[in-house]
A and B are shown apart, each in its own frame.
Chain A
């Protein structure tokens, strides 16, 4: 019964958004204030309705109402409380609904919190956001209705996907969708700027803020997804370059490029059209990603026809592209750069352009790699594979480019080729980097974990990133020195700089961490109860075989393992296989522990089914994985710090906001 109300509410949302879209266009054309307010209320009410619908869904999940097909498919009687909530977004219809709900919330926040000087573009923003929302609601009621009934209700559900029953998977999708939906705001503002015909300071302020929020959420979400893969899947890595991961990474790259072009636009009034293109493209990529992963296109072009949502997405993508490109083509000439003569030369803005080039070419390479199998199969009928080795070949070169361009970008000043204290910082860092990289090489144990072919690459990479870190620290020192070490002023006026600086330091530490991916050692070993095994200076001991225990809804077959260094017991690992009542398959629960420099990663591969006394383990030593987690935290902190910067406008031309002609 409740399910019917849920569907009705979604239908109502669609009607509200469609009306709101038309009203917003009317408000923009006639500059009609009443219509504008009405459109604003339409998006607000659709937000309220969809939140209620989501509430109904969650309530039904907790009621274990299996008369709703989606719940019967994704939940079961023995599902623990937390996962009963997260089962909501564990499959297609639910995650589409979560996305839609979040988009409605974000759209409502965006149109109610805009600053006064954006009032002239808000009708266009409303129109763009509600066009997207209306389409999402249309999909929800037509092809991906979560409230479809399955009568008579089965006594028990089929159970949630076991791989997703993990804390990281509980928060990864909502964070990722928040990131995606926040990118909708820069998109809407870009369309609005084109239709209005100018970019103002208020526009820049709003877009910068929303892009930063999206950046922080996307960074955190992508990393949590990686962490989930690391602790749950058991192939000893966190990033496999599979299409799903790639499709979340491409919007991140676009979003980061947008942040940098906004900076140039802010300081010099240039690159306005690039910002607009990136604002549109970033949002577009979120849908491309969803299309790729949802339609089944990636696994093969032939699976495309199986899912009804696929062709709809394709039509939508084509429509979105066509409309955005034609709006851009007709209206872009009205977006003028600042009226200054500009020679780019060697300067901070040029370094920023280089960084954007690298970010965008990285996105392009990932896009090519992801799409290539599909294109090849469609054109030549031959099936090929593009997987991690392909991407891993290009990534180090992009990383090298990042090290250089980030360092130069941080050191150089706007419109000037002169670096203050340039010689001291750059050549001083050449010296400082020697001990720093030596520490990294010694503790990171590069010599014994590396494959011989990549030794030089590792050494060069570690040296260069140490150099970059040293240069960045030098830059911060000079900045402080210029302020006479007045921290009050620094933290009051320079939060944007400091946030960027943190994020860049984070990026360098992340690069050091990523280099650990290219080394590492592994061993597969079979132990009897009571035996021990020496590997990489550790002694792994399994004193008794398999222990069976029940945890929530799963049965765990654990092989407790003690790790000694010399004679000291340092880690107690519990690698296990878990078995869920709803599936025959078993799943890995990995025993992970370690220090800053390397993780010990033990997978229970197999065990003797007769008495559980003989167990086969896969032991991996993964260097510098914790550097990556630390780095991402620093990057997110940088994004948050920059968000708190009190924005001061710069060189963009400002235009007085248009008055309402029909203000009644």
Chain B
């Protein structure tokens, strides 16, 4: 088995190796979109580690660490709290907080603007639902038809155990087996007969 795996690996490796000469020029010809970044790595030979002279020339005392999490004097924790509740319109399953898609960035900017206007979380969320509809919220609203999305699971979790309790646990189950017998009665009957047989033999012996 191991040999087979190794064999397959080798064959696929060989096939790939046969392809490499064709691929090499293709990968070199492609240029990165931002040539400046390429300039930063002027010598492509020094792949890792060694910073180039150019990089050392940057004065490191120019500005202090810039904390980007709260630009515009907006409280970070509150911002996250709001941004977490809004969906990224272009991705599946993410909030705008977790996404860097251009649409999400716009929404985040809007959230900051609204916070600077002094609105609270509820007001900001209302602002977005007015503009985009309830779709923009990550949870279904607890009113109208969407209320079902909340009631059904809660009812299921609360009533389910009760239903099981009353229908299954409390009931003494007796099954009619339509004439097909299980092992136990047969075994019991046979033991009884055996007992009788032994008794008879015992009497006969005396």
Contacts and interface: CB of A to CB of B under 8 A. Distances in A.
Contacts, number: 244
Contacts of B38: 548
Contact of B37 (A64, A384, A557, A616): A557
Given A372-B140, A525-B66, A526-B65, A607 B37 contact: yes
A526 B66 contact: yes
A385 B94 contact: no
Interface stretch (A255-263, A315-323, A349-357): A349-357
B181 interface: yes
Contact of A544 (B55, B87, B173): B55
Interface stretch (B28-36, B110-118, B119-127, B194-202): B28-36
Interface string B58-79: 1010111111110000000000
B197 to A, nearest CB: 25
A609 B183 contact: no
Contact of A62 (B12, B33, B44): B12
B157 interface: yes
Contact of B55 (A269, A369, A389, A613): A613
A549 B43 CA distance: 10
Contacts of A525: 65-69
A529 B58 contact: yes
Contacts of A527: 65-66
Contacts of B137: 384-385
A348 to B, nearest CB: 13
A8 to B, nearest CB: 23
A581 B28 CA distance: 10
B56 interface: yes
Given A341-B172, A387-B95, A77 B19 contact: yes
B34 A609 contact: yes
A253 B161 CA distance: 18
Contacts of A550: 27, 44
A339 B51 CA distance: 80
Interface in A517-547: 522-533, 543-547
B185 interface: yes
A84 interface: yes
Contact of B139 (A361, A383, A387): A387
A93 interface: no
Given A397-B157, A549-B41, A613-B58, A384 B146 contact: yes
Interface string B130-159: 000111111111001110110011001100
Nearest to A344: B169
A364 B153 contact: yes
A653 B182 contact: yes
Contacts of B22: 64, 77
Contacts of A616: 68
B6 interface: no
B184 to A, nearest CB: 7
A270 B174 CA distance: 12
Interface in A83-142: 84-85
A394 B47 contact: no
A240 B134 CA distance: 20
A529 B141 contact: no
Given A361-B156, A544-B56, A353 B15 contact: no
A344 B173 CA distance: 9
Nearest to A377: B135
Given A524-B68, A527-B65, A546-B40, A336 B177 contact: yes
22 contacts: A79-B23, A243-B93, A336-B177, A338-B182, A343-B172, A343-B173, A361-B160, A372-B146, A379-B145, A384-B134, A385-B138, A385-B140, A386-B138, A387-B94, A389-B138, A526-B68, A531-B60, A544-B51, A544-B52, A544-B56, A548-B44, A555-B32
Given A62-B16, A581-B30, A613-B55, 6 more contacts: A337-B175, A339-B184, A384-B135, A386-B139, A531-B60, A531-B64
Interface of A: 59, 62-64, 77-81, 84-85, 156, 235-237, 240-245, 269-270, 298-299, 336-345, 350, 353-354, 357, 361, 364-365, 368-369, 372-373, 376, 379-380, 382-390, 393-394, 397-398, 522-533, 543-550, 553, 555, 557, 560, 579, 581, 584, 605, 607, 609-613, 616, 651, 653
Interface of B: 12-13, 15-17, 19, 22-23, 26-27, 30, 32-34, 36-41, 44, 47-49, 51-52, 54-56, 58, 60, 62-69, 80, 84-85, 87, 92-95, 98-100, 133-141, 144-146, 148-149, 152-153, 156-157, 160-161, 164, 168-169, 172-175, 177-178, 180-185
Which 5 A-B pairs give the minimum distances between C-beta atoms? A242-B93, A81-B16, A339-B182, A530-B60, A544-B51
